[in-house]
Structure 1
């Protein structure tokens, strides 16, 4: 399929063009910084933001899209599953 927008630069407000499954891990970083995280099955999500801050989002509903620039998703305090990183 031809890409209609090849001559346009992608901004942060642009739709995601890449996705990857997130396996929460207390040690390893994500393969790339996210633009957003899709939460397939609700719960709690503990992550490190690009700024270095660690935050925990509680009571996330299934099917939600969290617009965060994350570098790591922790396994210890994460109960949400079906996570997909978008960038």
Structure 2
């Protein structure tokens, strides 16, 4: 039972859905997550929804949640794996 199912959902609310982000694909994400979870640490090159280019976040530890509205993960510069979008 979800006591909050009739509540509005904002970007700062907990995720209601999860989806694997393929860090080997250069395809833009279908929709921007509220945040991304990094399962296996490394570099994450991510383009945020309001940016034209990706920025590399270096040495992101495993288990980190990045509060980034990502539009795309750049596979050429991403070494982290097991990335999950929190929607």
TM-score in same-fold range (> 0.5): yes
* Deviation per residue, 1:31-51 (Å, 9 max, x gap): 210111100010000011000
Partner residue, 1:22: 21
Within-5 A mapping of 1:2-13 = 2-13=1-12
**Runs in 1 of length 4+ with deviation above 4 angstroms?**
none
Aligned-pair Cα RMSD in Å: 1.1
- Partners of 2:42 and 2:80 within 8 A in 1: yes
Within-5 A mapping of 1:24-63 = 24=23, 25-26=25-26, 28-53=27-52, 54-63=54-63
| C-alpha separation in 1, matches of 2:70 and 2:18 | 13
TM-score by length of 1: 0.90
| C-alpha separation in 2, matches of 1:63 and 1:84 | 11
* Unmatched 5+ stretches in structure 2: none
Aligned-pair CA distance for 1:69: 0.2
| C-alpha separation in 1, matches of 2:33 and 2:11 | 11
* Unmatched 5+ stretches in structure 1: none
| 1:21 partner SS | strand
Aligned-pair CA distance for 1:81: 0.4
- Partners of 2:20 and 2:83 within 8 A in 1: yes
